[in-house]
Amino acid sequence: MNEVLLLMVLLAAAYFGSLLTEGRAIRGFGLPSGAEWLMLGIVLGPHALGVFQASVIRDLEPLVIVGLGWTALVLGIDYGYVGERRVSWRGLLLGIALSAFCGAAVASATFAYLSWELHHETDDALIIAATQALVSSETTRHAVRWISERQGARGPLSDLLAEIADTDDALPLLGLGLVVALSTTPSVDVELSLGWRLGAAGALAVILGLIAAALLARSFAFGESWAVLIGVALLGIGMSMRLGAAALTVMFIVGAVISLVSHRHAELRRLLAPTERPVILPLLVLGGATLDPRLLSPEVVSLLGVVLAARIAAKLASGRIVAIFVPAARRSPIATGGALLSSGTVAMSIGLHAYLSHQGRQGEWALLAAAAATIAGELVGPTMLRRALSRAGEVDRGEAPPILTEEAP
């Protein structure tokens, strides 16, 4: 496909996708994970209709990285807030802890399988296990919003699940910075050690965030605010690529710093929130088009099975942990854990970034695992979330779909 025509297709996906998934339309259209756009990419890819060529993402790598970096900036500015409400310390700590728990479970299972069954070298197994953990530890924050919009869910369990889904993004996005620094070579002329590279990336992010906050404090015009944000995003993405750092990590920290120090953080969240879906939806289409069924050898299928099994086990166990803090969740802890299986923006963003950063099987397997987690989570997560909230008395029982009865502990 001609690159100009391809860009027109992606712009059309961004426009129509945003119409379907934002505002009131969320009550009637769109899945919380965006899995339908991933499937659209698979259908349009070289192994189905052939609209996209196999190398489409690598040909558009700068555009994809900019889109991923912008998405991370939006996530950083919105981090720690559910709507206009700041998350509680309990929600923040629980979200980070459950993300770490799931990531550790997936990494341990993946490393053991690669080392003992597939006999990979230790360094290779560690990098693959780490990337699989990063794409597996997220719960998309759109899932709870999806239920709240459509069925009016309100209560302590829905509030805590929303906080967990919002705050568990930090660990995989920050962890990506370490994995990329370990596995990529910077394009600067000066040789930097790992510690200096991580420090330089962190300092760059904090400095850019402070500069942006200072400029935004002096500029209240609509166009000037956009100019500052876009300029900081492009500068941060370009410099992070030169340093061999993860653009997603750098821009997430930039957004978090802006949100922390700027008195305009509420205005900025409202300004940027509508831009997330129009940016990520075309990237999901590209990600789906890149997936190659020929990569699904018995070895890869077994690996994905191990990753998904470890993720499901960890999320179901997380439901028991949530039940400790919210008594209403004790009526259906398994469904509460299953509600955390919904995946989406962060998982696919990390998978795409890993695909572009790592040549060969490391990046390909990360993207496959992200897609598998997104699709599997969509099949299970929303239904389990409705069930958990229904059993907790936070949505109308009549609206929840009938599924098997689960005994309370």
Give the pLDDT mean for 215-235. Answer: 83
pLDDT computed for residue 82 by the predictor: 87
Between CA 217 and CA 261 the distance in angstroms is: 10
310 found inside a domain: yes
Tokens of 365: 């397997």
52 inside domain: no
Assess whether pLDDT exceeds 60 at residue 148: yes
In a domain, 350, yes or no: yes
Burial class of residue 123 in the structure, from the number of CB atoms within 10 Å of its CB (0-12 exposed, 13-18 middle, 19+ buried)? exposed
pLDDT tens for 150-162 read 767 778 888 899 9
227: in domain: yes
Region of poorest pLDDT, from 75-79, 146-150, 295-299: 146-150
Domain containing residue 354: CATH number: 1.20.1530
Q: Backbone phi, then psi, for 85, in 5-degree steps?
A: -95, 130
Residue 404 has pLDDT above 80, yes or no: no
24 or 70, greater pLDDT? 70
Sign of CA dihedral 33, 348, 376, 79: negative
The dihedral built from the CA positions of residue 202, 203, 209 and 210, taken in this order, carries a sign that is positive
CB 388 within 8 A of CB 160: no
For residue 336, being part of any structural domain is answered with yes
Rounded to an integer, the average pLDDT of 389-399 is 72
Is 228 within the bounds of a domain?
Answer: yes
- The total number of structural domains that make up the chain: 1
Query: Averaging pLDDT over each range in 26-35, 62-71, 105-114, 280-289, which range is the top one?
Result: 105-114
The answer to whether residue 11 is domain-embedded is no
Is 279:70 a contact under the CB 8 Å cutoff?
A: yes
Residue-level pLDDT at 345: 85
pLDDT above 90: percentage of residues in the chain:
37
What is the reported pLDDT for 57? Answer: 65
Residue 90 in this model has a pLDDT that exceeds 70: yes
Instruction: Supply the pLDDT for residue 370.
Output: 92
pTM of the complete model: 0.88
- Min mean pLDDT across 125-129, 326-330, 402-406 is at 402-406
Q: Which pLDDT value is given to residue 408?
A: 36
- Please determine, for residue 271, whether its predicted confidence score (pLDDT) is greater than 70: yes
What number is the average pLDDT over the span 113-120? 89
CA–CA gap between residue 394 and residue 406 (Å, rounded): 17
The reply to whether 237 falls in a domain is: yes
Percent of the chain beyond pLDDT 70?
A: 81
Residue 401 pLDDT: 44
Q: Within the chain, what is the greatest distance between any pair of CA atoms? A: 64
At residue 222, does pLDDT exceed 50?
yes
Token pair of 276 as six digits: 């997330």
- Containing 146, the helix (H) or strand (E) segment is helix 142-151
| Each residue's pLDDT tens digit, 291-339 | 877 778 888 999 999 999 999 999 999 999 999 998 988 888 999 999 9
Structural tokens at position 52: 């996209």
pLDDT, averaged across the chain: 83
pLDDT: which is higher, 169 or 144? 169
> Structural domain of residue 312, as residue ranges?
63-267+297-393
Residue 191 CB burial class (10 angstroms; 0-12, 13-18, ≥19): exposed
